[in-house]
Amino acid sequence: MQAILGLLPFADVTGEVMFEGRNLLTLPPKQLQKLRGARIGMIFQDPLSSLHPYYSIGAQITEAIHAHEKVSPQAARSRAVDMLTKVGIANAAERFDSFPHQYSGGMRQRVMIAMALVLNPPLIIADEPTTALDVTVQAQIVALLDQMRKELGSTVIMITHDLGLLSSVADRVMVMYAGNRMEFGPSEPVFKAPSHPYTAGLLASSPSNYAAGEELIAIPGRPPSLLHKPTGCAFAPRCSYALPKCATERPPMRRYSDKVEALCWLEEPLDPRHNERVAPTGRNADAAAPSCSRSTMSN
């Protein structure tokens, strides 16, 4: 997500990233700069390090407005205060001139959301927006993002390790491992009958699938180094279902009748609770030829 916004200047980025009919990877820097904020909003993981400590909250939000639109300072301030109110900042007009350190963690995250939404972008990228927050504030932030999405008609791409959170908000899910798209599809079939062992392993290791006191089932091993990319399936060394060819041959992208795709040699879905194969669920697999992701990155 950072690469498509031009935020990884020393990365070697190949492929295509199509947005509104244009390939973002080939846009000149000035054109890409016009899209950032106005058409694509970004909510960063750590608001305390993302917000500048020297400038007030209001100044940072209005700066984003002035960067893309010609409006008066009064109009920009009014829009910023209105957006701060919408994201749940009490007494927004009075808190407009406050500094980041004068806000709590949850309030700073709300400010980041306000900054990303103030220009009504059609696409919002949320990078772990609830990681540093307690459970109660997490629920508030997720509800706020959902409310803003419905009000503004924006699409939200949420990057998260929280599978419980993901299952409650996502329409579609992409599970990635070592830079590869392992599984992709509507959230319900992905969570109920995952097709890739990695997805099943993640679900099996999630505390939400266990009663208090039960032992978690962890995925053995460690992720590979991307300095030496695996020739076969990147997950093969940690997979209990690995076949001999998994170590040397890239698996096919299987497409199922319920619109789920999985980069795996296995055809049957897996039980996310026990990481075991289950009986066929009635969905059919179409094993396409081995394929690569359309976009790859390396540092």
Q: What is the pLDDT of residues 174-206, one digit of tens each?
A: 999 998 999 999 999 999 888 899 999 998 888
Q: Where are the domains of the chain?
A: 37-160, 182-298
- Residues with Cβ within 8 Å of residue 291, at least 6 apart in sequence: 252, 253
Averaged pLDDT, 75-101:
93
Angle (nearest 5°) at CA 154 between 44 and 257: 100
Give per-residue burial for 240-255: e unless 16+ CB within 10 Å, then b: ebbeeebeeebbbbbb
- Dist CA 22 CA 100 (whole Å): 36
Percent of the chain with pLDDT over 90: 44
Architecture of domain 37-160: 3-Layer(aba) Sandwich (3.40)
Closest alpha carbon to 187 in 199, 177, 173, 174: 173
pLDDT band at 215 (very low <50, low <70, confident <90, very high): confident
- Residues with Cβ within 8 Å of residue 212, at least 6 apart in sequence: none
What percent of the chain is helix, strand and coil (3-state, nearest 5)?
35, 20, 45
In this prediction, residue 282 carries a pLDDT of: 45
- Dist CA 154 CA 149 (whole Å): 5
- Dist CA 73 CA 266 (whole Å): 59
- Tokens 């053995």 appear where? 220
Averaged pLDDT, 241-257:
91
Architecture of domain 182-298: 3-Layer(aba) Sandwich (3.40)
pLDDT digits (tens, 9 = 90+) for 9-61: 888 888 899 999 999 999 998 999 899 889 999 988 888 888 999 999 999 99
Burial of 273 (0-12, 13-18, 19+ CB in 10 A): middle
Averaged pLDDT, 100-109:
90
- Tokens 């962890």 appear where? 218
Q: Taking the complete model, does pTM exceed 0.85, yes or no?
A: no
